[in-house]
């Protein structure tokens, strides 16, 4: 008793011609629609034994088309009696020994499906009428998040607490439809004509997910920025949509058990903006300057700064300014090229400095001769 596979794989016009009446996914659904009742399509009012034409209620002989990217759930009295994740055409039979109750598909649903099926399946013999619902197995995009005030987390790279206001969106995926429906979807949505939409502002369950994501943002930022594999850099978050999605999904799972209790997972994120607080902005400026002054680039910047300083000193301070710059650049060169500064009583260093002063006209020849005699102990 259950479903018989009539055709597997892609379904199209040929099947529609063979089946004058069948149930399938309603048209015009929003991209964030997660669960909705099956709707009848065709030209004939007779759908198996269900001649009354009740929406989404199937019986012996009813035909159902499962499109790519959707799963089919059958219910009786609130209990799940069948699940299909393989696209194709199916016929419901309550009296056929060859019929099946579950078609899990290949790589479409996780192993959790079989566990959930054994946990929640109908315990007795299914009756003649079943309620048919479709659940989306696609990625459900454009689920928004945002913070009204700063969130704070400990950052290993900056070695302090940082804060920011952020907003963006994430993509959801229903990885276990049975858990999702049994543990999370309110009963009011298990009716014909109802659509469980994650973007619906009147959907209290979806609003709860929004609040839980916002509450998980600070732990997610901490997980990401303190992961050595991510380079411990805040700036990489906006470019690494999948990496941050994994951190956000882990934070949500730790706090609210989305996957294990609800069959939901966050697969991608898109951070639209991050507005750091004043203290964090100053820290980031310091880090940027430190990066710019490190390695070969730092030497280039330093040389350019010294050259500009020499030009300015020559224009405004004359020979005295040049002497000061010369002594400064000599000292900087010494710091860059020599690990140890020359001793203070080194006679060669004293004579070199005296000669530079003589050449610049700061001392006379007599002064130089006196300094030379003193340095050499004459």
| Per-residue pLDDT at 221 | 87
When pLDDT is averaged across residues 158-185 and rounded to a whole number, the result is: 90
pLDDT band at 154 (very low <50, low <70, confident <90, very high): confident
Q: Which tens digit of pLDDT belongs to each residue from 237-291? A: 777 878 888 899 999 999 999 999 999 999 988 888 888 889 888 888 887 777 6
Provide the pLDDT for residue 332: 45
Confidence of residue 302 (pLDDT cuts 50, 70, 90): low
**How many whole angstroms separate alpha carbon 48 and alpha carbon 91?**
10
Candidates 362, 309, 311, 302; CA nearest to 333 is 302
Number of Cβ within a 10 Å radius of residue 365: 8
What is the predicted pLDDT for the residue at 270? 87
Secondary structure letter of residue 342 according to DSSP: P
Q: Tell me what the mean pLDDT of segment 11-17 comes to.
A: 55
Mean pLDDT, range 294-311, rounded to an integer: 55
Q: What are the tens digits of pLDDT across the range 312-371?
A: 655 555 555 545 545 544 554 444 444 444 455 677 777 788 788 888 777 888 888 888
Q: How far apart (Å, rounded) are the C-alpha atoms in residues 247 and 267? A: 10
pLDDT tops 60 at residue 309: no
Alpha carbon distance 163, 218 (integer Å)? 9
| Whether 129 contacts 57, CB under 8 Å | yes
Q: What's the DSSP call for residue 129? A: -
Q: What is the percentage of the chain residues whose pLDDT exceeds 70?
A: 72
Cβ atoms of 30 and 197 within 8 Å: the answer is: yes
Judged against a pLDDT cut of 50, whether residue 39 lies above it is answered with yes
Query: Residue 323 — φ and ψ, nearest 5°?
Result: -60, -45
Please name every residue paired with 57 in a beta bridge, in sequence order, or none if there are none.
131
Pairwise CA distance, residues 248 & 269, whole Å: 9
pLDDT bin (cut points 50, 70, 90) of residue 179 is very high
Centre a 10 Å sphere on the Cβ of residue 232 and count the other Cβ atoms it contains: 15
Predicted confidence at residue 55, as pLDDT, reads 78
Please give the residue that has the higher pLDDT: either 54 or 166: 166
Q: Which overall architecture, per CATH, does domain 140-187+197-285 show?
A: 2-Layer Sandwich (3.30)
Give the torsion sign (CA, 226, 232, 237, 243). negative
| Of residues 372, 337, 342, 343, the one with CA closest to residue 357 | 372
Which of 258-263's residues contact partners 24+ apart within 8 Å by CB, and which partners? 258/212, 259/175, 259/176, 261/179, 261/183, 261/184, 262/179, 262/180, 262/183, 262/184, 263/112, 263/116, 263/174, 263/175, 263/176, 263/177, 263/178, 263/179, 263/180, 263/183, 263/184
Average pLDDT, the chain: 78
Q: What is the mean predicted confidence (pLDDT) over 158-166?
A: 86
* 83 touches 113 (CB < 8 A): yes
Residue 213 has pLDDT above 50, yes or no: yes
Q: What is the torsional sign of CA 113, 114, 117, 119?
A: negative
Domain ranges of the chain: 2-137, 140-187+197-285, 308-376
The overall longest dimension of the chain from CA atoms, in Å, is: 126
Token pair 């003649």 is found at 128
Q: Does residue 153 register a pLDDT over 50?
A: yes
Q: In a 3-state reduction of DSSP, which class is residue 31? A: coil
Task: Measure CA of the first residue to CA of the last residue in the chain; give whole Å.
Answer: 118
Question: For residue 264, what are the β-bridge partners?
Answer: 174
Per-residue model confidence as pLDDT tens digits over 96-131: 777 888 887 665 555 667 778 777 776 655 667 899
Residue in 165, 150, 139 with CA at minimum distance from that of residue 245: 139
Position 215 scores a pLDDT of: 93
Cα 228 to its chain centre, rounded Å, is: 17
pLDDT at 370: 83
Whole-angstrom distance, CA of residue 28 vs CA of residue 344: 86
């Amino acid at each position: 008793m259950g479903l018989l596979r009539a055709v597997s794989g892609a379904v199209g016009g040929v099947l529609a011609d063979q089946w004058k009446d069948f149930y399938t996914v309603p048209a015009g659904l929003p991209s964030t629609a997660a669960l909705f009742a099956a709707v009848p399509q065709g030209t004939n009012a007779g759908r198996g034994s269900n001649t009354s034409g009740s929406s989404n209620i199937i019986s012996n002989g009813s035909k159902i088309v499962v499109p790519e990217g959707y799963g089919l759930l059958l219910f009786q009295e609130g209990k799940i009696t069948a699940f299909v994740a393989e696209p194709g055409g199916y016929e419901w039979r309550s009296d056929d020994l060859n019929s099946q109750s579950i078609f899990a598909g290949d790589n479409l649903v996780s192993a959790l499906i079989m566990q959930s099926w054994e946990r929640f399946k109908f315990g007795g013999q299914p009756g003649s009428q079943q309620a048919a619902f479709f659940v989306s197995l696609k990625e459900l995009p454009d689920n928004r998040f945002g913070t009204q005030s700063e969130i704070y987390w400990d950052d290993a790279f900056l070695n302090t607490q940082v804060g920011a206001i952020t907003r963006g969106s994430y993509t959801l995926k229903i990885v276990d439809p049975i858990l999702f429906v049994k543990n999370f979807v309110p009963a009011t949505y298990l009716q014909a004509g109802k659509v469980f939409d994650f973007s619906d502002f009147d959907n209290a369950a979806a609003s709860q997910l929004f609040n839980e994501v916002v509450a998980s943002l600070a732990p997610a930022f901490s997980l990401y920025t303190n992961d050595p594999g991510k380079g411990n850099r805040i700036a990489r978050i906006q470019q690494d949509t999948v990496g941050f999605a994994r951190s956000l999904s882990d934070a949500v799972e730790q706090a609210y058990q989305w996957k294990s209790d609800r069959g939901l997972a966050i697969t991608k994120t898109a951070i639209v903006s991050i507005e750091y607080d004043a203290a964090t902005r100053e820290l980031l400026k310091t880090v940027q300057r430190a990066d710019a002054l490190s390695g070969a680039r730092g030497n280039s910047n330093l040389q350019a700064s010294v050259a500009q300083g020499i030009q300015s000193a020559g224009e405004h301070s004359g020979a005295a300014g040049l002497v000061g710059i010369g002594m400064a650049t000599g000292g900087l060169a010494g710091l860059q090229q020599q690990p140890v500064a020359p001793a203070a009583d080194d006679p060669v260093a004293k004579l070199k400095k005296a000669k530079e002063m003589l050449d610049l006209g700061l001392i006379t020849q007599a002064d130089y001769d006196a300094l030379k005699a003193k340095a050499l102990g004459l």
